[in-house]
Amino acid sequence: MDKYQVLKQYFGYDTFREGQETLIDSIIMGKDVFGIMPTGSGKSLCFQIPALMMDGITLVISPLISLMKDQVATLNQVGIHAAFLNSSLTAGQYYKALEYAREGKYPIIYVAPERLETDVFLDFALHSKIAMVAVDEAHCVSQWGQDFRPSYLKIVEFIKKLPERPIVSAFTATATKEVREDIIDILMLREPTVVTTGYDRPNLYLGVQAPKDRYAALKNFVETHPDQCGIVYCLTRKLVEEVSDRLKEDGFSVTRYHAGLSDAERRKNQDDFIYDRCQVMVATNAFGMGIDKSNVRFVIHYNMPKSIEAFYQEIGRCARDQEPGECILFYNGQDVITNQFFIDNNTDNQELDPVTRQIVAERDRERLRKMTFYCFTNECLRDYILRYFGEYGSNYCGNCVNCISQFETVDVTEIAKALIGCVFSCHQRYGVNVIIDTVHGANTAKIRQYRMDSNPYYAVLAKVPTFKLRQVMNYLMLQEFLTVTNDEYAIVKLTANSEKVLDEGESVVMKMAKEQDHPAKVKSEKKPKKGKMAGVELSEADEALFDKLRMLRSEIAREEKVPPY
Ligand code: ADP
Ligand code: MG
Ligand code: ZN
């Protein structure tokens, strides 16, 4: 099969996106590649398609268990044999997966970097033909990024041990010069084909609203944005008809698009929108693929979409000219139920075996939950999306509804002093976690072993939650009041600025999410009614779920630990 056939048959797409072909062609010709493309632009296909076309196994290195599970489920769903090897597997599952891998059942294997140096995995790798090592989220090798992972440094050691050097491909959305150079150097890419596309989307304002009357809110929005064109996404064809009819009655210049219309009408409506003959396009998610209109000023989600992936893709059509754009999501509890219904009645999955169908449905439910949580979080919405895709940035973007209304300026000087003082008093010998655990007063084996429980800063901030300590620690590093060493130990060190805070009375002020459970916007709507379908009651149980999700997310963000087998 050639690459177009693979694209069509397995992934169901007709055309490649910008950058994808160049990267795929280079890999097939045996060259190293380095793809720098924004989140959601389709980096995975760039290593998955060549993996299916080459002899041998492609190992994909990925930092997060959740990302691995997700991608493997997606591949399995379309009939591609892929597996993941990480600490979420029991010893039994791990050996079973390796056994299949030895038999050559998987062209694609996702593996956590920590695994690479284990004897069991190494033995497998040395006796298999590894065609390519694809490093996803490659910025994790660089200490310049916020999410440096010492375990990523093991990748090169691993490659060196292989009898034959595989192709090495690296992918990231982080485009700063330092990080790029680090990736090429540290991964020792050999004359890689470097492809940079697109741009990040700080120009998009992100908002969530839970209006009592959605149509009134939409009408008001369009009225207050005359001369601006935009897209309104609805979940169902019926709603597209309803909303576009009402807008038309109310005198707006509007057209519509969904899969139930004739080819001719779809083409005409699309052109009307693209050539500015209509101001507003009301559409299902069928609209937008391959549409390149740069001056779309707003994207309104009349309903909550099924996943962050879908949502990000759809708002990605806004303001491609890099001028400001607005992306507002209208949340309503009923959307969760409708999406749940789509998952439970997914006709695309009909031909899958029951086990795979189950896995896919579970993944989709999980995606829906995370989409739902986007509507409830009081954290920065952009940060939420980027974290979902495995990127870590600032916790404050200043251009989303939460940053504008939910954040407050907090003086964190006392916390900063304790953290810096602790680094100083332990002679700059430990990593972030030890420092945080010390000031928080954790009673762990490590703390006792390092005698940090007798450090003068032990438990001085016992009342401050660790997530907050971590946020301040991150901020201190961003502002270069502290730094970490560029080796696998990631030791926290002082900088020339440290004493300004410690001794010279400089205060540290940062933006932080206000402390409350949920944003007022959702609270004021009161709890949505219980749904009829199992598992989707938006009730107290959901609030607990959201809390759990929040914890899970910070859990995942921490580095994986390798169990002893
Ligand atoms: P990234 O890793 O760059 O953040 P992903 O690889 O997760 O992005 O892809 C984001 C979404 O784009 C996925 O849903 C994927 O199926 C879709 N996608 C990728 N390539 C194409 C393409 N050529 N045409 C249409 N959709 C695509
Ligand atoms: Mg990706
Ligand atoms: Zn923000």
Question: What are 131-148's pLDDT values in tens digits?
Answer: 999 999 898 898 765 567
Residue 198 is which amino acid?
G
15 CA closest ligand 1 atom index: 23
Helix or strand run (H / E) with residue 120: helix 119-126
Task: Please tell me the distance between residue 159's alpha carbon and the centre of ligand 2 in angstroms.
Answer: 22
Answer yes or no: is the C-beta of 387 below 6 A from any ligand 1 atom.
Answer: no
> Can you tell me which atom of ligand 1 is nearest the CA of 44?
6
Pick the more confident residue, 164 or 351: 164
Q: Is the CB of 389 under 6 A from ligand 1?
A: yes
Distance 301 CA to ligand 3 centre (A): 18
Using a 6 Å cutoff on CB, does residue 16 contact ligand 1?
yes
CA distance readout (Å), 488 to 114, 154, 311, 373:
12, 9, 36, 34
45 lines ligand 1 (CB under 6 A): yes
Residues contacting residue 304 through CB under 8 Å, at least 6 positions apart: 329, 330, 331, 332, 335, 336, 339, 371, 372, 375
Ligand 1 and 559: CB distance under 6 A: no
Q: Which atom of ligand 1 is nearest to the CA of 7?
A: 23
The two tokens of residue 364 are: 């989709």
Which ligand sits closest to the CA of 16? 1
Residue 144 CB less than 6 A away from ligand 1:
no
pLDDT of 350 higher than 90: no
**Strand 509-513, strand 407-411: pairing:** antiparallel
- 79: tokens are 């009939």
By most ligand atoms within 8 Å of CB, the mutation choice from 44, 75, 137 for ligand 1 is 44
Confidence band (pLDDT; 50, 70, 90) for 559? very low
Q: Is a pLDDT exceeding 60 seen at residue 424?
A: yes
What pLDDT score was predicted for residue 361?
84
Ligand 1 centroid–CA 314 distance in Å is 12
Summarised one tens digit per residue, pLDDT across range 31-59 is 999 999 887 788 999 999 999 999 999 99
pLDDT classification of 367: cutoffs 50, 70, 90? confident
| pLDDT exceeds cutoff 80 at 378 | yes
Chain mean pLDDT for the chain: 85
Q: Is 24 helix (H, G, I), strand (E, B) or coil?
A: helix
Is-above-0.90 flag for pTM? no
Strands, DSSP E only, in 108-223? Answer: 108-111, 130-135, 167-172, 193-196, 204-209
Confidence of residue 88 (pLDDT cuts 50, 70, 90): confident
Task: Identify the residue whose C-alpha is closest to ligand 1 atom 25.
Answer: 13
The better pLDDT of the pair 231, 210 is held by 231
Mean pLDDT of 248-275: 94
Neighbouring-strand partners of residue 58: 108, 132
Report how far ligand 2's centroid is from the alpha carbon of 175 (Å).
Answer: 14
| pLDDT the model gives residue 19 | 93
Question: Does 43 sit in the ligand 1 pocket, CB within 6 Å?
Answer: yes
Q: Give 183-206 pLDDT, tens digit per residue.
A: 999 999 999 999 987 556 888 999
Does the C-beta of 288 come closer than 6 Å to ligand 1?
Answer: no
Return the pLDDT at 516. Answer: 52
pLDDT of 474 reads: 79
46 close to ligand 1 (CB < 6 Angstrom): no
Q: Give the pLDDT of residue 379.
A: 87
**Would you say the CB of residue 309 lies under 6 angstroms from ligand 1?**
yes
**Which residue puts its alpha carbon closest to atom 23 of ligand 1?**
16
Return the H-helix or E-strand segment holding 326.
Answer: strand 325-330
Q: Which ligand is nearest to the CA of 36?
A: 1
Segment 381-403 shows an average pLDDT of 82
Distance from first CA to last CA of the chain, Å, rounded?
39
Whether 565 shows a pLDDT value over 50: the answer reads no
| CA–centroid distance, residue 325 to ligand 2 (Å) | 24
**Structure-model confidence comparison of residues 361 and 297, the more confident one:** 297
550 lines ligand 1 (CB under 6 A): no
Please report the pLDDT score of residue 520 as a whole number.
37
Q: How far is the CA of 277 from the centre of ligand 2 (A)?
A: 37
Q: How far is the CA of 40 from the centre of ligand 2 (A)?
A: 7
- Nearest ligand to the CA of 60 is 2
Q: Which pair of structure tokens corresponds to residue 557?
A: 């963000």
Region 152-176: mean pLDDT is 91
**Structure confidence at residue 446 (pLDDT):** 92
Sheet strands side by side (includes 280-283): 204-209, 325-330, 298-301, 230-233, 280-283, 254-257
Residue 541, token pair as written in the block: 């149980």
Instruction: Give the number of whichever ligand sits closest to the CA of residue 403.
Output: 3
pLDDT at residue number 541: 44
Q: How far apart are CA 65 and CA 148, in angstroms?
A: 16
What percentage of residues in the chain have a pLDDT greater than 70?
Answer: 86
Residue with the nearest Cα to atom 21 of ligand 1? 42
Predicted local confidence at residue 457, as pLDDT: 96
What average pLDDT does range 385-409 have in this prediction?
Answer: 80
For ligand 1, atom 19, the nearest C-alpha belongs to: 42
Q: What is the pLDDT of residue 131?
A: 98
Nearest CA to ligand 1 atom 16: 42
Average pLDDT over residues 78-95: 92
> What are the CA-CA distances from residue 539 to residues 258, 528, 529 (Å)?
33, 7, 8
Query: Is there a contact between 260 and 237 (Cβ–Cβ < 8 Å)?
Result: yes
Distance separating alpha carbons of residues 326 and 457, to the nearest angstrom: 46
pLDDT of 540 > 80? The answer is no
Top pLDDT among 407 and 392 is at 407
pLDDT at 173: 78
Q: How far is the CA of 382 from the centre of ligand 3 (A)?
A: 5
Ligand 2: centre distance to CA 336 (Å): 25
pLDDT reading at 525 higher than 50: no
**What pLDDT score was predicted for residue 392?**
58
- Rounded CA separation 331/374 (Å): 10
pLDDT for 354: 78
- From the CA of 43, give the closest atom in ligand 1: 3
The per-residue pLDDT for 534 is 27
Query: For ligand 1, is residue 471 a contact (CB within 6 Å)?
Result: no
* Pocket of ligand 1 contains residue 42 by CB under 6 Å: yes
Q: 13 pLDDT exceeds 80?
A: yes
Q: What is the mean pLDDT of residues 119-135?
A: 96
Q: Is the CB of 37 under 6 A from ligand 1?
A: yes
The minimum-distance atom of ligand 1 relative to the CA of 37 is 3
